[in-house]
Amino acid sequence: MSYFYLAIAIISEVIATSALRNSAEFTKLWPTLIMIAAYGSAFYFMTLALRTIPLGITYAIWSGLGIVLISLVGVVFYHERLDWPAALGMGLIIAGVLVINLFSKMVVH
């Protein structure tokens, strides 16, 4: 269940970051409210994940997948472009998350 909570936390953080971009420096009400609610949700669900997943592992997964997902949101919704070094770096991040989850003795399965 902890990984489910972590997944909700990551998705909430991606929603919050997207809303932050749309808030136009907090001048638009609805994106600002969505951002506040989504960051609150992200941190709440992260605390639930931390009940059983070690802090370092939780944060590595949170930050790594968050970077990749928010970059994909940027490409799909904001028409941002990723060059090959960015794509390579994100591939390495995904590989790192996989190594942690598949081989680390710290990870709770």
Predicted pLDDT of residue 105: 79
* Each residue's pLDDT tens digit, 51-80: 999 998 899 899 999 999 999 999 999 999
CA-CA distance, 42 to 47, in Å (whole number)? 9
The pTM of the whole model exceeds 0.75:
yes
pLDDT of residue 108: 60
